[in-house]
């Protein structure tokens, strides 16, 4: 009886190991595919690149920080701004319309990629992300008061494909 249980346990271990190796292989192929996609999106000369600076806080504009960041990184692109002086539930529909109008205007200009610099309430960011989702590659930048901006990921049609900060750094240092 113990011999039978031992054989069953050995078979279960082998099956578990094979499933583990299959999961690792799937993860590696997805990471490789995503790195390739980011590298392709980072290639220059594909069209118009825009830095979209969105500031929804009263008395604050991010344009100065964005200009300094782009200059420091050697990235030359036009900066487009969306400014609102505070956000409330009453102005959200108009703000969403403003986001959509900006997207249409950028699309009419032949935009190929957007670098999004956002400052404002998290809830409003969902409205902006909804408008920009499934469009052109949108790189999302986060501002650290002590260190400036850093790219946190690529907004795509699926959360599964979002890049982590480490992956973006790895890809951009090779490019």
Instruction: Give CA–CA dist 59/26, Å, rounded.
Output: 48
Lowest mean pLDDT among 58-67, 78-87, 126-135, 155-164: 155-164
Residue 149: closest CA among 78, 65, 79, 77: 65
Computed from CA positions of residues 125, 127, 130, 133, in that sequence, does the dihedral angle turn out positive or negative?
negative
**Burial environment of residue 132 by CB neighbours within 10 A (0 to 12, 13 to 18, 19 or more):** buried
**Whole-number pLDDT of residue 150:** 81
- pLDDT tens for 37-74 read 776 666 544 678 889 888 887 777 788 888 888 888 88
In the predicted structure, residue 17 carries a pLDDT above the cut 50: yes
Residue 161: closest CA among 138, 130, 131: 138
**Whole-number pLDDT of residue 167:** 61
Q: Which residues contact 67 (CB under 8 A, 6 or more apart)?
A: 79
pLDDT band at 162 (very low <50, low <70, confident <90, very high): very low
- pLDDT tens for 100-151 read 888 888 888 888 888 988 887 777 788 788 888 777 888 888 887 777 788 8
pTM value surpassing 0.85: no
């Amino acid at each position: 009886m113990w011999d039978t249980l031992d054989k069953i346990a050995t078979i279960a271990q082998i099956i578990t190991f094979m499933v583990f190796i299959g999961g690792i292989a799937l993860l590696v192929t997805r990471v490789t595919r995503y790195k390739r996609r980011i590298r392709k999106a980072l290639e220059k000369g594909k069209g118009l690149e825009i830095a979209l600076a969105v500031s929804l806080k009263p008395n604050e504009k991010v344009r100065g920080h964005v200009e300094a960041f782009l200059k420091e990184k050697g990235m030359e692109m036009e900066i487009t701004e969306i400014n609102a002086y505070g956000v409330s539930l009453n102005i959200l529909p108009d703000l969403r319309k403003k986001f959509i109008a900006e997207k249409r205007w950028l699309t009419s200009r032949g935009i190929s990629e957007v670098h999004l610099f956002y400052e404002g309430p998290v809830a409003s960011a969902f409205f902006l992300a909804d408008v920009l989702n499934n469009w052109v590659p949108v790189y999302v930048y986060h501002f650290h008061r002590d260190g400036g901006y850093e790219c946190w990921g690529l907004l795509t049609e699926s959360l599964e494909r979002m890049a982590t900060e480490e992956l973006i750094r790895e890809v951009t240092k090779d490019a």
